[in-house]
Structure 1
């Protein structure tokens, strides 16, 4: 079998799962975090450095790659794997979220979405079939179906319309697929309505996709709302397929969502925050530009193997204050390393049936002991 999800263990006291997702380009240990390589690069980090952080799978963005350098250019360069020299699995999103973020310059119909390029204003027609065509040219291991994402809060009628359209578009994507070496993941929509989420998950599950994502969250709603919807949705999804929570998020969001049954995550947060001078650590985050670090000889974390932690906090602060590009690069690598370490610890805690106590300990260490997130 080209793609297979093996569920190895279920935590004794939560819905956390320990598994492995088998793909043509290697195995993805779950729960797992995918660094975001929007335009064929995890911003500011070489592909070898990404691998050294412990990442198993990365993400590329269909919308951005279709505009620049273009799907045909990527195809002629050998696909995303050959072009980037990443030899592990790659997931590409469908462009649906970018369409949502460009809502002021797009028009959605049953056929698809028409919008203007943010680069040159060119008119672009993105249908479910075209999204599949682009992703097949990119050559990713996992291709997301095109879905209709809407801003929240919204009228229930609008949520229903977007959800039902997403289900119809998922079927069109499934029918348009031609590559046996590319798995399609469907995307569950339904806003913050548990009933609609379960309905959407059930209808998509009946289509027998190789994997499923929970989409349309982490768009401004409270973390507790995201956790509530995730907890309601996961039981309606097949046990033997991977579950991916799109665009999430903070380290606390990852482990809270693992407790509710999620297997895969992606987010720009570790690299974006790193470029802006914020480092994640096991005792909370550090704003490296703060003057308190000026004479600090400590590393960010004493036991972290990343290249940033070979330097002092004082030196890292200097790089940011001086505008040296090395500062954002080092903090990006550190944050990616931290996220992968949290995922390794998560997998080990599930295997020991100790995930509940692991979650509580992390919440306390990260300053979330008195809240749901």
Structure 2
């Protein structure tokens, strides 16, 4: 088992990484209150809820609130239903929320915890690779609004993150690949040596070999913890974690039912890289390595077709937009990226067009 600490002064917390960790919860989470609400979905509950419940204190009052499976469940209505459950059960300010699931569950549960009775403790128990290496760490919580993704939310840190890697055995190939998109991101923005390690370990990671997977998760969490500790509320460095996301969120919004988050981020990352290739600021060999590694992990490197107006409208709703000006995370080399304000829409559109799949 490995432990990584997210250093945020009085709000610091551990990330525990290992196999079959739910059985270790009594020793890892020693200060759980007596009122606990597990937020999960039916798919995850079928696999992991019995083991989690068996590990919780015998004297605890445990509620289980299941939300629908899928991004559409990260909604105002789902949020309201969880609040109704907590209030009906007379849960008080000393309760805790346990997020058992992927990014949708974690984001919704975290926002519930941030706002119920002005804030209660919560714990992240991520069961997907994407959630384990990204969304469970750092305290970003949110729900979606019809006007855009993650527009209603709060920065609210968990008390601990418990990553049980054996949960990944039940992931579909597609969902597993989506998590690898976020792993690749860390190499592009922060750690060239890690990117090279990923290139050298494609076969092991695609086969979900435990040692390779443990290293990829651990290094991803180390990078995320370092960045969050330096910039908790995304005033500078932390914005780099959004590589590919401005383009990706536009794809997700238009292709809600057919594109997953990691897939959209992968295509968005290639667009961002292509833009810098056009500008002469990203070496061609680095662009080719980025594209090749994403392809090796069975991720899309071409964006679906959207009209120019659709791209503009969706990206103008992105949270990184300031004073109506688009800001993107752009790679300058493998291992380095920058947040930039871009006024050259023609160049952005050229990059999008170059990376869009032919119809």
Q: Judge same fold: TM > 0.5, yes or no.
A: no
| Higher fraction of helix | 2
Q: TM-score, normalized by length of structure 1?
A: 0.39
Determine which structure has greater relative contact order: mean sequence separation of CA pairs < 8 Å that are 6+ residues apart, divided by chain length.
1
